[in-house]
């Protein structure tokens, strides 16, 4: 924790204030006593004397979490009204940062259950507060999207599926956008990098929703996809066994199909339980995406675009049909 109430009833913010070492401090949430800790590994912070008595505290904070929360606060405090460790008694939650009383920024450095993420997200939304999750090192996108990472994904017409990563070592904020998955489950996407305290943070976080040129990139294709599929079936990988079962029901066999039959190879993320941070209806996006690639003649190349591009293509095709 970076904030506490002192004996005089004043809020002490360790990012900005120099506390009195002999003072007594209390948790702003549970009112339990906390201790000022000033060691050599973690930055100065407050810690509960008895953590289990505080239902606001879900985890012991790491050095990374404390530093990132502090860095974001310093970045924001000169441009907007921001509160660090804002207490929501009605939710039983403490937001890492609350911006203009309507946007909660949560720095998530460790894994948590999907159920807990859904509960915390919905609690904010039910109060009319937008929540944006910024991911620490252990939750960065690597080769594949995990089930948990899919629940951090956001969506916009200009940048598609996207999420935010925080890099303490490099002091940068990363935007992973136009996030797709190929048949191997590998992530393919674009990345934008924003150095800490360069530019207005709130404007940066709004970028996915602002008017802008529609960027695209060429997806990586596997011309030996059939060999990979045969291997997956040999080892009875559940995903491919299910796809083979569906193929049999259609009178087909995955092993006799060509790479063209699996076009487009680079596809949109799928989640059986939906996406916790996305309230848009994505059905038309998936339809527009599928329709566009079905019409492509060259199935050796796949150029990937934002959702707005596929929507424009669909509307243009409808307009041409109406003129016939």
The stretch 202-217 carries a mean pLDDT of: 95
Its domain, for residue 85, covers 62-221+265-314
What is the reported pLDDT for 320?
66
Residue 319 located in a structural domain: no
Q: Encoding tokens for residue 220?
A: 């990586």
Residue 125 located in a structural domain: yes
The stretch 71-91 carries a mean pLDDT of: 92
What is the reported pLDDT for 53?
67
Same domain, 6 and 149: no
Residue 269 located in a structural domain: yes
Same domain, 99 and 217: yes
pLDDT digits (tens, 9 = 90+) for 283-323: 999 999 999 999 999 999 999 999 999 999 999 877 666 65
What is the reported pLDDT for 179?
98
Same domain, 83 and 46: no
Of residues 139, 136, 133, the one with CA closest to residue 167: 136
Sign of CA dihedral 73, 77, 79, 83: positive
pLDDT digits (tens, 9 = 90+) for 259-280: 899 999 999 999 999 999 999 9
What is the reported pLDDT for 300?
92
The stretch 148-156 carries a mean pLDDT of: 98
What is the reported pLDDT for 48?
84
Q: With 80 as the cut, is the pLDDT of residue 231 above it?
A: yes
What is the reported pLDDT for 176?
98
Same domain, 71 and 211: yes
What is the reported pLDDT for 317?
79
The stretch 122-142 carries a mean pLDDT of: 96
Which of 57, 75, 102 marks a domain boundary?
57
Same domain, 215 and 245: no
Q: Is 112 exposed, middle or buried (0-12, 13-18, 19+ CB in 10 A)?
A: middle
Q: With 90 as the cut, is the pLDDT of residue 18 above it?
A: no
Residue 323 located in a structural domain: no
The stretch 1-28 carries a mean pLDDT of: 83
Of residues 260, 275, 268, 300, the one with CA closest to residue 188: 268
Q: What percent of the chain has pLDDT over 90?
A: 73
Q: What is the DSSP letter of 134?
A: E
What is the reported pLDDT for 159?
97
Q: Average per-residue pLDDT in the chain?
A: 91
Same domain, 280 and 249: no
Q: With 70 as the cut, is the pLDDT of residue 58 above it?
A: no
Same domain, 74 and 204: yes
What is the reported pLDDT for 22?
80
Same domain, 191 and 235: no
Same domain, 24 and 36: yes
Residue 324 located in a structural domain: no
Q: Can you count the helices (H) and strands (E) in the chain?
A: 8, 16
Rounded to whole angstroms, what are the CA distances from 282 to 50, 145, 314?
45, 19, 15
Same domain, 135 and 253: no
Same domain, 86 and 149: yes
pLDDT digits (tens, 9 = 90+) for 178-190: 999 999 999 999 9
Q: How far apart are CA 246 and CA 193, in angstroms?
A: 42
Which of 33, 57, 81 marks a domain boundary?
57
Which of 42, 57, 72 marks a domain boundary?
57
Same domain, 119 and 230: no
Strand 130-135, strand 160-167: pairing: parallel
Residue 321 located in a structural domain: no
User: What is the total count of domains within the chain?
Assistant: 3
Residues whose CB falls within 8 Å of the CB of residue 203, separated by 6 or more in sequence, listed in order: none
pLDDT-wise least confident of 5-9, 47-51, 113-117, 212-216: 47-51
Say if residues 290 and 310 touch (Cβ distance below 8 Å): no
The stretch 162-185 carries a mean pLDDT of: 98
Please indicate whether residue 163 or residue 19 has the higher confidence score (pLDDT). Answer: 163
Residue 322 located in a structural domain: no
Residue 1 located in a structural domain: yes
Q: How far apart are CA 19 and CA 293, in angstroms?
A: 61
The stretch 93-103 carries a mean pLDDT of: 94
Q: What percent of the chain has pLDDT over 70?
A: 95
What is the reported pLDDT for 65?
93
């Amino acid at each position: 924790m970076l904030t506490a109430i002192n004996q005089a009833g004043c809020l002490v913010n360790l990012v900005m204030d120099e506390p009195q070492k002999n003072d007594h401090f209390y948790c702003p949430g549970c009112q339990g006593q906390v201790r000022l800790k000033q060691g050599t590994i973690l930055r100065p912070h407050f810690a509960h004397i008895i953590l289990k008595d505080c239902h606001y505290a879900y985890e012991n904070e790491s050095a990374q979490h404390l530093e990132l929360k502090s860095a974001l606060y310093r970045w924001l405090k000169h441009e907007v009204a921001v509160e660090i460790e804002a207490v929501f008694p009605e939710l039983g939650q403490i937001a890492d940062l609350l911006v203009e009383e309507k946007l909660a920024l949560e720095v998530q450095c460790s894994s948590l259950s999907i159920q807990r993420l859904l509960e915390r997200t919905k609690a904010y939304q039910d109060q009319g507060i937008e929540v944006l999750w910024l991911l620490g090192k252990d939750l960065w996108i690597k080769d594949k999207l995990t089930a948990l990472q899919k629940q951090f994904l956001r969506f916009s017409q200009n940048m598609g599926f996207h999420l935010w990563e925080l890099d303490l070592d490099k002091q940068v904020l990363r935007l992973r956008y136009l996030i797709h998955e190929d048949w191997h489950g590998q992530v393919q996407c674009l990345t934008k990098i924003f150095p800490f305290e360069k530019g207005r943070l709130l404007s940066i976080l709004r970028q996915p929703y602002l008017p802008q040129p529609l960027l695209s990139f060429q997806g990586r294709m596997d011309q030996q996809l059939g060999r990979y599929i045969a291997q997956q079936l040999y080892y009875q990988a559940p995903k491919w066994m299910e796809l083979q079962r569906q193929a049999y029901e259609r009178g087909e066999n995955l092993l006799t199909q060509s790479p063209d039959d699996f076009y487009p190879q680079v596809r949109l993320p799928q989640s059986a339980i939906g996406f916790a941070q996305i309230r848009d209806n994505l059905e038309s996006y998936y339809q527009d995406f599928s329709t566009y690639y079905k019409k492509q003649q060259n199935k050796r190349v796949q150029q990937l675009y934002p959702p707005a591009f596929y929507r424009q293509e669909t509307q243009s095709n409808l307009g041409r049909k109406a003129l016939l």
